[in-house]
Structure 1
Amino acid sequence: MTGAIRRSRLRAAVSAGLVLLVAAVGVVAAVGFGGGADGGRAQAGGAPPATATVTRQTLADSEPADGELGYGATRTATAKLSGTLTALPATGSTVRRGKALYLVDNEEVVLLYGGLPAYRTLAPGAEGADVAQFEKNLEALGHTGFTVDDEYTGATADAVREWQEDLGLAETGRVEPGRIVYADREVRVESHQADVGDLTQPGQAVLTYTGTNRVVTVELDVDDQRLAKRDAKVSVRLPDGRAVAGTISTVETVVQAGAAGANGQTGDPETKVEVTVAVTDPKALTGLDQASADVTFTVSERRDVLTVPVAALLALAEGGYGVQVVEGDASRVLAVTTGLFADGRVEVTGADLAEGMTVVVPT
């Protein structure tokens, strides 16, 4: 749902509550309402035909969006070595740190964990964040004798030679960028982009992979980016109707290729906001394959506030809003200040307003 649609819906909700503007001003005049919140005088007469109760509650302004149940964003592993592709893991299988993501010339290209890509050869004298990232992985794989920091020393090279010996590689003490692939965590192989026996060259796609946890992915228009805040709580309605709690784990801006038109020409690329939601109870997703799911984002929330139906608001002649409170066989108008609008109700505060009061809802 775009921001423009939401603003239009909010205007419509407010208009519904204020459509009797002229009549409301007449009501205020009839009861002799003054400038203050306590200026109303009781009005004799029968009970109003339609009423509602002033309720204390948590009011949440929420927006729904369509999501897709799956394994999250798909990434592509591309070759950085020239040779022959000699082995690929099975689709759907899991590859963990230190294991082969694929083999070139029967030598392993190893998966490690980290956010930086392998972009240069690491050797004694190298310094930087990529060195620290690699050394953390080397230590996690059980190799010792060096300090995990941002300096690649001779001690690091010695540990690398031991690692290379374990892999059956040439013991050079240097780490070539084509020999490792970084991912945030263990990966699930989604598809093969090449076949065993194919010749590889730098830049060639070898396979695609995803995370291993079931998640819900939502694509939002850029105008709705305000909905997506990392670590924010959301509600997910599954295909079987169950509602489960979720948390926004990642928010990324992605550029999608434009769709092909009837004339064969490709349209302009589109920028989208890709939101990944992790459910609180992953077991709730057991047995559910890729399918649609509804995600409700909470834009804003007000806890423990007084609310009335939007339609109960009256426009006051001197400006602002009021509500007509019913007290036995009489009624009076109280000035109120409005807050959050959501789900047909509005947050209200006023000097004499209290939970449980009855207010008129014009029809």
Structure 2
Amino acid sequence: MRKLLAATAGLLAIAAAWTVVSLLDGGGTEAAAPATPPTTATAAITRQDLVDTKTVDGALTYAGERQLSTDASGTVTWVAAEGAVIRRGRSLLKVDRKPVVLMYGTLPLYRPLQQGVSDGPDVEQLERNLKALGYGDDLTVDDHFSYATYLAVKAWQDDRGLPETGRVDAAQVVFLPSAVRVTDAKTEVGAKTGPGRSVLTVSGLRRLVHVDLDTGDQTLARKGAKVTVELPGGEQISGKITSVGTVARSSGSGQGEGDGTTTVDVDITLDKTPKTRLDQAPVEVELVSERHKNVLAVPVEALLALREGGFGVEVVENGATRLVAVETGAFGGGMVEITGTGLAEGMRVGVPAS
């Protein structure tokens, strides 16, 4: 019963306000009600489906975080600020005042591209970007680095303040699938950089929620399952689990106090864009644990904490009351599943007056 601990705190407060007596028949399911019942309101026992849920902590972040490096060598003279959105044709940073430019593509720039290079998809990728940026009116987008490609590259280099060589390499361009958001600058103005050195951490623009889910709760995370996310300020947005990790990760020492925990990565896509712009904002995610079908249920506040342990409900019939011990099951939507001797749909149980 996944929310019992949370519910118990509230139930004990209710119990303190109600006078509850012990079961009288030594193991039976009923007990005499107080002589002057404090109940001034009732609720019906209903038969319905209940969805058991569990709330876990997560963080609102951005999709597709990755580290960027460049082949540029020299002194960093400008770097994109944290939170900046960089789109095609814009600079990620400048080294010795020469820009390192973002272009769109899935293939890394693994070789210099110039006249005479063998045909390949990386050439087509470059040409597609040159066309999109307005260079090469006579350029045919294909896998061949032609003279028209050479002229388009030189025109682009001239506009960007790069040496007009007609040759493109990884000191000038970084290919990424789409626009990115800078989440962290790994370098600063005045710092030295060189080939392979990490300069930026970037992510995609799509917001998502990430959860480090305890492996004991792994059954709660099913790809495609609907969830509810509560954001800072109380905003609630529905979402869907889009990724569940297959590799468990351990944290902590695993010895004595602060024992380590083992978690799996869970990513959730939100159904709409949240109002907050914060990165790594703490959120709460409500996961569906189990659906209990066609069960008897009462409002949670109808439960009474019994002196000898467990819970009961106060059944109200024909102006009289009797206390019935119950077993609780799923909690969901302010209702709780109950089973107990003689209980049936439609009976009335006492609840605190509102």
Residues 285-324 of structure 1 aligned to structure 2 (within 5 Å): 285=276, 290-298=280-288, 306-309=294-297
Instruction: Give a deviation string over 1:253-303, Cα, whole Å, max 9, x none.
Output: 7887965799xxxx99977415253351433x26x675311012346779x
- Specify the alignment match of 1:235 in structure 2: 228
Name the residue aligned to 2:186.
193
| 1:79 paired residue number | 70
> In 1, are the aligned partners of 2:241 and 2:266 still within 8 Å (CA)?
no
SS of 1:162's equivalent?
helix
Partner in structure 2 of residue 277 of structure 1: 269
Contact kept in structure 1, 2:215 and 2:248, CA below 8 Å: no
| Aligned match of 1:108 | 99
What secondary structure does 1:159 align onto? Answer: helix
Letter in 2 for 1:159: A
Measured in 2, the distance between the counterparts of 1:142 and 1:247 equals: 39
Shifted more, 64-73 versus 79-88: the winner is 64-73
8 Å contact from structure 1 (residues 255, 269) kept in 2: no
Q: Does 1:141 align with 2:141?
A: no
- The structure with the greater share of residues assigned to helix is 1
Question: Distance in 2 between the 1:270 and 1:174 partners?
Answer: 49
Contact 2:230 2:285 in 1 (8 A): yes
* Paired residues of 1:257 and 1:269 also in contact (CA < 8 A): yes
Aligned length: 271
Contact 2:253 2:260 in 1 (8 A): no
Q: Residues 294 and 82 from structure 1, CA distance in 2 versus in 1: closer, same or farther, beyond 3 angstroms?
A: same
User: Where do 1:1-363 residues align within 5 Å?
Assistant: 52-55=45-48, 60=51, 62-71=53-62, 74-123=65-114, 124-128=117-121, 130-144=122-136, 145-149=138-142, 151-154=143-146, 155-212=148-205, 214-221=207-214, 227-228=220-221, 232-248=225-241, 272-283=264-275, 285=276, 290-298=280-288, 306-309=294-297, 343=332, 345=337
Looking at structure 2, the residues matched to 230 and 117 of structure 1 have their Cα atoms a distance apart, in angstroms, of 30
Q: Residues 54 and 269 of structure 1: is their aligned pair in 2 closer, same or farther, counting only changes over 3 Å?
A: closer
In 2: Cα distance, 1:161 partner to 1:257 partner: 51
The answer to whether the 8 A contact 1:247-1:280 is kept is: no
Q: What TM-score, normalized to structure 2?
A: 0.58
Residues 237 and 173 of structure 1: CA distance in aligned 2, closer, same or farther (over 3 Å): same
Q: 1:248: Cα distance to partner? A: 4.2
Cα displacement (A) at 1:190 = 3.1
- Residue 86 of structure 1 contacts residue 103 of structure 1 at CA under 8 Å; is this kept in 2? yes
TM-score relative to the length of structure 1: 0.57
Summarize deviations over 1:58-102 as a string: whole Å, max 9, x none. x54544321123445643222322222221123333222110100
For 2:58 and 2:166, locate their aligned partners in 1 and report how far apart those are by CA, in whole Å.
47
Q: State the identity as a percent.
A: 39
Secondary structure in structure 2 of the residue aligned to 1:176: coil
The 2-side partners of 1:273 and 1:159 are apart by 44
Q: Distance in 2 between matches of 1:253 and 1:117?
A: 27
Any idea what the Cα deviations from partners look like across 1:23-81, whole Å, max 9, x if unmatched?
Answer: 99xxxxxxxxxxxxxxxxxxxxxxxxx983333x5x54544321123445643222322
User: Structure 2: how far apart are the matches of 1:92 and 1:164?
Assistant: 27
List gaps (5 residues or longer) in structure 2: 6-27, 30-42, 299-329, 339-343, 350-354
1:127-181 deviations in Å (ceiling 9; x for gaps): 23x44544443333233444445x2331444433332232232344433123222
The SS at the match of 2:184 is strand
Q: Which residue number corresponds to residue 322 of structure 1?
A: none
Match in the other structure for 2:305: none
Deviations 1:171-211 (A, max 9, x none): 44433123222344333333332222222112222232334
CA distance in 1, matches of 2:111, 2:123: 10
Q: Which runs of 5+ in 1 are unaligned?
A: 10-22, 25-49, 311-340, 347-355
Q: Tell me the CA shift for residue 126 of structure 1.
A: 3.2
Q: Secondary structure at the match of 2:82?
A: coil
* Displacement after TM superposition at 1:113 (Å): 2.9
Is the Cα contact below 8 Å between 1:186 and 1:211 reproduced in 2?
yes
Counterpart code for 2:89: G
- Residues 197, 68 of structure 1: CA spacing in aligned structure 2 closer, same or farther, 3 A cutoff? same
CA distance in 1, matches of 2:218, 2:152: 46
Report the alpha carbon displacement of residue 221 of structure 1 after superposing the two structures with TM: 4.2
Does structure 2 conserve the Cα–Cα contact (< 8 Å) formed by 1:251 and 1:276? no
